[in-house]
Amino acid sequence: MSTARKHALTNTVYKQAFTDAFRKFDPRVMIKNPVMFIVEVGFVITLLLTIVPGIFGAEADPFYNGIVCFILFVTIWFANFAEALAEGRGKAQADSLKKTKQDTTARLLQKDGFIREVPSTELRKGDIVVIEANQLIPSDGEVIEGIASVDESAITGESAPVIKESGGDFSSVTGGTRVVSDRIVVRISADPGESFLDRMIQLVEGAKRQKTPNEIALNTLLVSLTLIFLIVCVTLQPIAAYVHVAIPIATLIALLVCLIPTTIGGLLSAIGIAGMDRVTRFNVIAMSGKAVEAAGDINTIILDKTGTITYGNRMASQFIPVGGAKQAECTRAAALSSIHDETPEGRSIIELAKKMGVAHAELMGTGSEGIEFQAQTRMSGTIFADGSEIRKGAVDAIKQFAITHGGTIPADLDAQTEQIAKEGGTPLAILAGTHILGLIYLKDTVKAGMKERFDELRRMGIRTVMCTGDNPLTAATIAREAGVDDFVAEAKPEDKIALIRSEQSQGKLVAMTGDGTNDAPALAQADVGLAMNSGTIAAKEAANMVDLDSDPTKIIEVVAIGKQLLMTRGALTTFSIANDVAKYFAIIPAMFMLAIPQMQALNIMGLSSPQSAILSALIFNAIIIPLLIPLAMKGVKYVPMSASKLLSRNLLLFGAGGIVVPFVGIKAIDLLMHAVGLA
């Protein structure tokens, strides 16, 4: 996305949030946030006191009441703006997705074999449609016949088409994507309004967002604190009357607003929405906020080997001469055997040979022909213009070919072959004519940076387990190279479920990734199941997160985002409560200083007057909300560390900081008010 377009989008979101913040003053909306609803009630009361000073039968200063009323209004608007801004980002993404969702004409295959064109809105689950090149896929479904390239850029942002075919783990298709080539027959899997794209839109714009368990628990705590301080402020009036102190109603309301946790109350919803928004901008769709929250508490991650920890393609890592052959001779023969091999393994052999000094000119293959790999022969190679041949293939197949054509078997061939197998690799023998020159060591290479990423997870206190269908020797080798904590070899689908249940029985939360129908039970059992968008419908329906980029390693980033969400909420709650402690020293002495001179000792800030102290605290209480909006939206920077260190860091940074900042801020506002003559 261009910079100009980003700015235009940001400006639109800000403008919409500005307007929506006023709409949220509706009491029916505000009552969903009890803390801010109390502030709105206080705003209405001070507004009445401003318009009709003696309405409650007490003397009141309309100017003072008006200032308090205005500050309360601004406080509510700032809180509403924070929530509207978080929602606005999601709605902007939803609008972009809605442009992708368009009514199309579907070619419905009828029972009599004829094709009838119908609007996509008429399609129902179980219908079968035919889609050809350059046609949009009308709804979610599963390929039951054919193979085609599909452009999913409208959903994933990835420009490269993906192959979809029947009968595998890459058979599901998404409505709104386009078939680039060939023809496929698709069975529709969703009724109108229930497609993956529909659910994405609802989730992204917040239409289906439900509060998470932690959010509900924190909200309950905030409501409890609000009720406690409400009772305190109500009982202050008779206590003040007993000591002959007249406390204006506006002052009591200001005290209540400053004491209740308005900062976190105003930002709580925005934090939750922004957390899901961060996951969405990472091209992961979370089916609920609970899934994002659970990701932050994960103890164990179960990962597949192939395509997750490793590239999934065997790559040449070494050429091993046998039978007295020279290293250069072995390397050259391996390269020449792969001139016409366009597989990833063949290309990796060429690349490794070049690194080891084989000249590019020798690999041109002029006048040569390729020997195609066949399942019967299990060999491939090159026939040169002079009739000579160089082959590579399975060791037993090459041995049989050599013996059949009068060759001999090197004495050290079997030992070297066994050593490669023990290390988890795949050996290919190299044959020049009838002479076996050496072995190509193919290995499923661990992705770059995986060891460092697993080290980072370890610092988070998360255990990593690799599941693979490979034999124990291969599994152990890959596990050691990747740096995972444990592995399960020769794993079947039921083994994954058993492992998840075993971890959960110990009170741990488990995350896993998967893309196949056989992964669906385990994805459903896991606390966080991340399904690949390229996978089957069963996998996506079982999981509570879907990765649009189909990158299995993204589970690591999802965990970091979940932890960041929990940290942000905890940090701002700590800061908010610490703020309230500091405000006590501004307002409580101010209310009683005139009647009880000894209270002056508590005026440690040296504020100018009781009225100035109250207004300064109230103004600070209002402006701290917009100052914290960027932090609520972006999130607290996550640094991997133990829970105890994290707690100490938060208490020092946001706890101590939450006490110091109000002292500085309130004093600065008091000095400013004194300078302009309002104190």
341 is in an annotated binding site: yes
Amino acid at site 216: I
How many residues appear in the chain? 679
What pLDDT does 128 receive?
A: 92
Q: Is pLDDT larger for residue 239 or for residue 226?
A: 226
pLDDT of residue 598: 66
Residue 250 confidence class, pLDDT cut points 50, 70, 90: confident
237 is in an annotated binding site: no
The predicted pLDDT at position 101 comes to 57
> What CA–CA distance (Å, rounded) separates 229 from 371?
84
Q: In three state form, how does the secondary structure of 190-249 look?
A: CCCCCCHHHHHHHHHCCCCCCCCHHHHHHHHHHHHHHHHHHHHHHHHHHHHHHCCCCCCH
Which pLDDT score, from 0 to 100, does residue 362 have? 76
Report yes or no on 543 lying in a domain. Answer: yes
Mean pLDDT of the chain: 82
Q: Convert the pLDDT of each residue in 8-36 to its tens digit.
A: 446 777 888 888 899 999 999 899 889 99
pLDDT confidence bin for 404, thresholds 50/70/90: very high
Query: Which CATH number covers residue 296?
Result: 3.40.50.1000
The answer to whether 416 is a known ligand-binding residue is no
Residue 106 lies in a domain: no
Question: Is residue 429 within 8 Å of 457, Cβ to Cβ?
Answer: no
Just list the catalytic residues: 304
pLDDT tens-place string over residues 626-673: 999 888 888 887 776 666 777 778 778 888 888 889 888 988 888 888
Residue 16 assigned as binding residue? no
CB under 8 Å to 516, separation ≥6 — which residues? 169, 535, 536, 539
The number of folded domains in the chain is: 3
Residue 107 scores a pLDDT above 80: yes
Q: Note the pLDDT of residue 8.
A: 41
At 679, is the pLDDT very low, low, confident or very high (cuts 50, 70, 90)? low
Boundary of a domain, candidates 514, 548, 582: 548
Query: Is the pTM of the predicted complex or chain greater than 0.85?
Result: no
Q: Are residues 441 and 509 in the same domain?
A: no
End-of-domain residue from the set 426, 445, 464: 445
Residue 470 is assigned to a ligand binding site: no
d(CA 68, CA 250): 7
Residue 206: pLDDT band (50, 70, 90) is low
Dihedrals phi, psi of 402, to nearest 5 degrees: -65, -45
Residue 485 annotated in ligand binding: no
Is 380 assigned to a binding site? yes
Residue 570 has pLDDT above 90, yes or no: no
Best-predicted range by mean pLDDT among 163-177, 272-286, 477-491, 574-588? 477-491
Which domain, by its residues, includes 44? 3-92+204-280+559-676
- Answer yes or no: is 228 within a domain: yes
Local structure of 170: helix, strand or coil: coil
d(CA 377, CA 675): 94
Residue 246 shares a structural domain with residue 369: no
Within 10 angstroms of residue 504's Cβ, the number of other Cβ atoms is 16
Contact between 634 and 572 under an 8 Å Cβ cutoff? The reply is no
Q: Final residue of a domain: which of 423, 445, 467?
A: 445
Residue 486 assigned ligand-binding role: no
Tens-digit pLDDT profile for residues 549-569? 777 778 888 888 888 888 888
By percentage, how much of the chain surpasses pLDDT 70?
A: 86
Same domain, 440 and 317: yes
pLDDT value of position 83? 84
In the predicted model, what is the mean pLDDT of residues 296-310? 82
State the CATH number of the domain containing residue 415.
Answer: 3.40.1110.10
Does residue 334 surpass a pLDDT of 70?
A: yes
Q: How far apart are the first and last CA of the chain?
A: 50
Looking at the structure, tell me whether residues 314 and 431 fall in a common domain. Answer: yes
